[in-house]
Structures are given as structure tokens and as C-alpha cells.
């Protein structure tokens, strides 16, 4: 068990280069605390799997060092790093029983039966595999097989970290809920450092205490699920997290107010002077917008479309040619095609060239 530090790490698949575009992973510094639950979240090609493989030792970084506590392990091969990795598809022995599969990592390291048996049984119980302990893995369903993979990752108490690379992709939605809550429970119970790679925001946010959002080879934000939702530091984070994502709309900024399509909106913060040539945008989540009858205080908008997705409605509205998504509760009766759009000022963020700027509270 150790803190894992990535120091000035960068990686190019074509080797050292002067061209920054060659780097799938741009320069980054990051420390993973021992026992933390982390998620690496981003779209395909953002560098998240590259980063995972550098930690596990499957890839040697072009630049920088990997440290376990103070020890430089950059040149250490995977098998000496004491890290467990769980992949998208179950990696198990089909002809072995569940018990044999779970026991394998311990047996392989010469542990005694006396030590192995209680551990296997304990883990099988937590994973809900105890009824199938003596069944061959090939007779089990996809989700049970993936549970065995998880179990094999968790069986050794001494691992430095457990890495998950999109482990729930092949699992049906209903079972995803079960497996996810089991993972979270296992983390709380055993206190392993867990790093979970996914492009699915729900999986990342529900699993992790801290989420690292990656975009085009860079880390754009590290934060708690709450911070990523309430205060996205980059418009990409706002867009990528939340469904639908944050509304981002060009505006003019004047100290404590903004103008969208000439309509004025008073804020509760004062912002400093911003270079007029930069891109200024307002960001607000659909959950922080609401609709009121027309001609009340609010911006006059037209309703373009209402999607009833069960638990709530997603209403698409237009202020001239600027469109916004609004999340409305399930029972709101929407009639007519025009209404007033109300901003929750406490949750209205201002972005300059895609980066969040902070104002002074009034």
C-alpha cells in the first residue's frame, strides 16, 4: 500500500518528440492517495487508458517518473509493481471453478490453504458468488464472470492499487447497479486504492471520491463529484458531465451583469475587466434553469421541444437563436409555446476562453 505519484509524466507513442501534438498524454503531475477511490473520466482518445497503463507498467512513459511513496518505480516491470488490473471483458479461467479462480492469485504466490480458504469464502459472500463456488466459470453469466474478475483483483490484501478499465461495459443496466454498489462497498470495507477508468459519467461520479476529467491528453479538472457538477472549471467539464450537459452561451460581461442577445441578467458577483477579444460565455446547468409563465421576470423564450423522459422533462427553449436545455419536474404542465426563462444566479458561471473565472460576491 502506497501513495502513487506521477511526476512530470508525458507520453508519445512515436517516442520522444519536439512536437507537442505527438503526445497522447501531455505533461501531468498527480498524486493518488493511499486508499482513495478515483475515477479517470473522458471521451475515447483523451489519454485515460494510456495513463492507466503507465501506472500498471504496461507502458513506459516517454517522460517523467512514477513513484510509489518515495521510491521511483518507472523502470519496474508490471509483475513487480503489485497492482491488480481489471479489464472490460472478464479475464478468468473458464475450466476452473469459481473457488479455484479466486484462489489462483494467492496459490500462485505460494500461500497456504489455511490462509486462502477463509479469504476466498469471505470475498465470494460479498460478491454474491458463494452459491456458485464449485461451479465451473464457463457455466456462469457475463456479470458473474466479471464478478470473478473483480474478486481476483481484490483477493490479495497487499496490492498497491486496483485499476479498472471500463469494467461494466458488457453488463446489462440493471446489474450495473448491483456491481457498482458492490465495488463501492468493497472499497469502504478493504480500503484499497482504486482507480476506475470510464467514459460514463454516472459510473465515474457514483464510484469515486475524486474524479479526474481528461480531455485531449490533459487533465482539465480534479474534483469531487459535487465540484464537477456545481463549478466546472472548463466548459468541456460542464458539457461532459450532466445529461444533458451544461448550457454554454456567448454573452457580454459588464462587472455584475451579463447580456445575452441584448437581454440583461443581473448577477450576484462582480467580475474584473476581461480582454474584449477573448471568448466570454455564460454556463448554467439545465437543472438550474426554470420556466415561468410568459411576461414574468425572466428572459422571453420560445419552447422548441419537450421530451418526457420519465422522471422529468427536458425542455428545449430558444432566446432568439440561442438555445438552452431546461430540466423540468415530472408534473409541470407546459402550455403554449412561449415562457420566461429564469436563471438560478447562485449557479451561473462565467467562462473566458473556456476557463471558469471567479468574481467577488456582492
Partner 1 sequence: MQLELRNVSTKVGSEFHITDVSLAFEAGTLNILLGATLSGKTSLMRLMAGLDQPTSGKIYVRGKDVTGVAVQKRNVAMVYQQFINYPNLTVYENIASPLRIAKVAKNIVDEKVAKVSTLLKLDNLLQRKPQELSGGQQQRTALARALIKGAELVLLDEPLANLDYKLREELREELPRIFAETGAVFVYATTEPSEALLLGGNTVSLHEGRVTQFGATIDVFSKPANLITARTLSDPPLNTLPVIKFNNKMMYKSHVEIPLIGRLPDLPDDDYTIAFRPHHLCLTRKFDSMISVKAKVVVAEITGSESFIHIDVAGMRWVVLAQGIHNLDINETIEVFLDPSKFYVFDRNEQLVVTPETVPGI
Residues 6+ apart with CB under 8 A from 39: 195, 196, 197, 198, 203, 204, 205, 207, 208, 210, 211, 212
Q: Determine if 344 is a binding residue for partner 1 (CB under 8 A).
A: no
Residue 13 sits in the site that holds partner 1 (CB under 8 A): no
| Choice from 230, 252, 256, 261 touching partner 1 (CB under 8 A) | 230
3-state class of 9 per DSSP?
Answer: strand
Beta bridge partners of 214: 219
- Determine which residue in the list 38, 104, 192, 240 makes contact with partner 1, applying CB under 8 A: 240
What's the closest the beta carbon of residue 327 comes to partner 1, in angstroms? 10
Q: How far apart are CA 61 and CA 339, in angstroms?
A: 55
- 329 CB burial (10 A radius; 0-12, 13-18, 19+): exposed
Q: Which is nearer to partner 1, 105 or 225 (CB)?
A: 225
CB of 108 to partner 1, least distance (A): 31
CA gap 346, 266 in Å, rounded: 11
For partner 1, the binding residue among 80, 125, 131, 185 (CB under 8 A) is 185
What's the rounded Cα separation, in Å, for the pair 98 and 172?
21
Contact between 104 and partner 1 per CB under 8 A: no
Binding mask 49-88 for partner 1 (x = CB under 8 A): ----------------------------------------
- Please say which residue, 31 or 141, places its beta carbon nearer to partner 1: 141
Backbone torsions φ then ψ of 54, nearest 5 degrees: -70, -40
In the region spanning residues 107 to 146, those forming contacts with partner 1, defined by CB under 8 A, are 142
Q: Is 174 one of the binding residues for partner 1 (CB under 8 A)? A: yes
Name which position in 78, 202, 332, 358 contacts partner 1 (CB under 8 A): 202
Contacts of 55 (CB under 8 A, 6+ apart): 4, 6, 66, 83, 161, 163, 195
Question: Cβ–Cβ contacts within 10 Å for residue 174, how many?
Answer: 8
Q: Which stretch binds partner 1 (CB under 8 A): 2-10, 75-83, 233-241, 266-274?
A: 233-241
Is residue 21 a contact point for partner 1 (CB under 8 A)?
Answer: no
Q: How far is the CB of 257 from partner 1 (least distance, A)?
A: 26
**Which C-beta is closer to partner 1: that of 76 or that of 227?**
227
307 binds partner 1 (CB under 8 A): yes
Residue 241 has phi, psi (to 5 degrees) of -100, 135
CA distance 119 to 330: 47
Nearest CA to 41 out of 31, 52, 33, 30 is that of: 52
Contact between 225 and partner 1 (CB under 8 A)?
Answer: yes
Distances (CA, A) of 102 to 23, 118, 138: 38, 12, 14
Residue from 287, 318, 319, 357 binding partner 1 (CB under 8 A): 287
- Count of Cβ atoms closer than 10 Å to residue 7 Cβ: 16
Give the C-alpha separation, 202 to 185, whole Å.
17
Stretch that binds partner 1, among 101-109, 205-213, 292-300, 349-357 (CB under 8 A): 205-213
- Whose Cβ is closer to partner 1: residue 2's or residue 314's? 314
Q: Which residues contact residue 338 at a Cβ distance below 8 angstroms, ignoring those fewer than 6 apart?
A: 294, 300, 301, 302, 303
Q: Which is nearer to partner 1, 4 or 284 (CB)?
A: 284
Which one of 89-97, 106-114, 156-164, 170-178 is the stretch in contact with partner 1 (CB under 8 A)?
170-178
Interaction between residue 172 and partner 1 (CB under 8 A): yes
Binding site residues, partner 1, CB under 8 A: 43-44, 142, 172-174, 177, 180-181, 184-185, 188-189, 199-202, 205-207, 224-226, 228-230, 239-245, 285, 287, 307-311, 331
Amino acid at each position: 500500500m502506497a501513495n502513487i505519484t506521477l511526476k512530470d509524466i508525458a507520453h508519445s507513442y512515436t517516442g520522444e518528440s519536439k512536437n507537442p501534438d505527438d503526445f497522447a498524454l501531455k505533461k501531468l503531475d498527480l498524486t493518488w492517495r493511499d486508499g482513495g477511490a478515483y475515477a479517470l473520466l473522458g471521451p475515447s482518445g483523451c489519454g485515460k487508458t494510456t495513463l492507466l497503463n503507465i501506472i500498471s507498467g504496461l507502458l513506459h512513459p516517454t517522460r517523467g517518473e512514477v513513484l510509489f511513496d518515495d521510491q521511483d518505480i518507472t523502470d519496474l516491470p508490471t509483475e513487480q509493481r503489485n497492482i491488480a488490473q481489471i479489464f472490460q471483458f472478464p479475464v478468468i479461467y473458464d475450466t476452473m471453478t469459481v473457488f479455484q479462480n479466486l484462489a489462483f492469485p494467492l496459490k500462485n504466490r505460494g500461500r497456504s490453504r489455511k490462509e486462502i480458504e477463509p479469504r476466498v469464502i469471505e470475498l465470494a459472500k460479498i460478491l454474491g458468488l458463494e452459491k456458485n463456488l464449485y461451479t465451473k466459470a464457463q457455466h456462469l453469466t457475463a456479470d458473474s464472470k466479471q464478478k470473478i474478475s473483480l474478486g481476483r483483483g481484490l483477493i490479495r490484501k497487499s496490492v498497491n492499487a486496483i485499476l479498472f478499465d471500463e469494467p461494466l461495459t458488457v453488463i446489462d443496466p440493471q446489474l450495473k447497479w448491483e456491481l457498482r454498489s458492490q465495488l463501492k462497498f468493497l472499497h469502504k470495507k478493504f480500503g484499497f486504492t482504486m482507480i476506475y477508468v470510464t467514459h460514463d459519467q454516472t459510473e465515474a461520479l457514483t464510484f469515486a471520491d475524486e474524479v479526474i476529467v481528461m480531455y485531449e491528453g490533459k487533465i482539465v479538472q480534479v474534483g469531487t463529484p459535487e465540484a464537477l457538477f456545481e463549478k466546472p472549471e472548463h466548459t468541456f467539464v460542464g458539457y461532459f458531465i450532466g445529461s444533458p450537459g451544461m448550457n454554454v452561451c456567448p454573452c457580454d460581461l459588464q462587472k455584475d451583469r451579463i447580456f445575452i442577445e441584448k437581454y440583461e441578467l443581473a448577477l450576484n458577483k462582480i467580475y474584473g475587466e476581461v480582454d474584449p477579444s477573448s471568448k466570454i460565455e455564460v454556463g448554467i446547468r439545465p437543472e438550474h434553469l426554470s420556466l415561468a409563465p410568459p411576461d414574468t421576470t425572466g428572459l422571453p423564450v420560445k419552447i422548441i421541444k419537450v421530451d418526457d423522459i420519465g422522471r422529468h422533462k427536458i425542455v428545449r427553449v430558444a432566446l432568439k437563436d440561442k438555445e438552452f436545455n431546461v430540466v423540468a419536474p415530472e408534473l409541470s404542465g407546459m402550455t403554449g409555446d412561449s415562457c420566461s426563462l429564469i436563471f438560478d444566479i447562485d449557479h451561473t458561471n462565467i467562462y473566458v476562453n473556456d476557463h471558469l473565472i471567479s468574481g467577488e460576491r456582492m
